[in-house]
């Protein structure tokens, strides 16, 4: 599917959803919803993110890192470099609180780095002052042998469904 076809498909799906929503919830207005076109505070996130988070949690075993990874994405501005001047809000957004919040966050960040989803450089706030977020689909391709087959197939199917050619097999992407 080329870009024009994908746009037409997306527009048709959006129009259908709006029509159905207005029919099923006639008393609900557009003002009741958050829209990236009307409100500040958004970033671009892969539609495969829920599956990617599950893959990350599978790979990090008893120390799930999916929410930590998602919190990083939510802090990015379509530029993959984050500057973490104060890691405590990052730890809180990752779901960690209390006295061990920072050390738990740092441990999860170390795992994400070891898996290859991020890289970091030391700065004034510590080892994760500068954080680079890599394309997760490319990371998944690099570490494919570590990922459970059913989880990889789930990701691949969703990537094909949303037109994410960076994960699709070479024959489908060409």
Q: Where are the domains of the chain?
A: 3-32, 49-173
- Confidence label for 51 from pLDDT (cuts 50, 70 and 90): very high
Cα–Cα dist 20/31, whole Å = 17
Strand-pairing partners, residue 126, are 123
Return the half-sphere exposure (C-beta side, CA atoms, 13 A cut-off) of residue 161.
9
Strand-pairing partners, residue 123, are 126
Q: Mind listing the pLDDT tens digit for each residue in 65-110? A: 999 999 999 998 878 999 999 999 999 999 999 999 999 999 999 9
- Assigned CATH topology for domain 49-173: Arc Repressor Mutant, subunit A (1.10.10)
Please choose, from the candidates 115, 132, 112, the residue with its C-alpha nearest in 3D space to the C-alpha of residue 69.
112
Q: What pTM value is reported for the model?
A: 0.84
Cα–Cα dist 84/121, whole Å = 10
| Residue appearing with tokens 């929503």 | 21
- The DSSP secondary-structure symbol of 121 reads E
Question: How many angstroms separate the Cα of 45 from the Cα of each of 64, 92, 171?
Answer: 20, 20, 25
């Amino acid at each position: 599917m080329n870009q024009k076809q994908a746009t037409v498909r997306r527009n048709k799906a959006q129009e259908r959803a709006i029509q159905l929503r207005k029919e099923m919830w006639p008393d609900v207005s557009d003002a009741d919803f958050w829209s990236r076109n009307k409100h500040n505070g958004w970033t671009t996130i892969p539609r495969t993110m829920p599956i990617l988070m599950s893959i990350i949690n599978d790979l990090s075993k008893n120390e799930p890192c999916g929410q930590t990874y998602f919190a990083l994405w939510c802090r990015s501005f379509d530029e993959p470099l984050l500057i973490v001047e104060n890691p405590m809000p990052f730890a809180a957004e990752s779901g960690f609180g209390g006295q061990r919040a920072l050390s738990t966050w740092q441990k999860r960040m170390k795992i994400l780095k070891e898996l290859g989803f991020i890289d970091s450089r030391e700065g004034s706030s510590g080892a994760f002052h500068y954080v680079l977020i890599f394309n997760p689909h490319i990371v998944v391709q690099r570490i494919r042998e570590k990922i459970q087959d059913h989880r990889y197939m789930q990701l691949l199917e969703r990537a094909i469904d949303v037109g994410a050619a960076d994960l699709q097999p070479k024959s489908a992407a060409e």
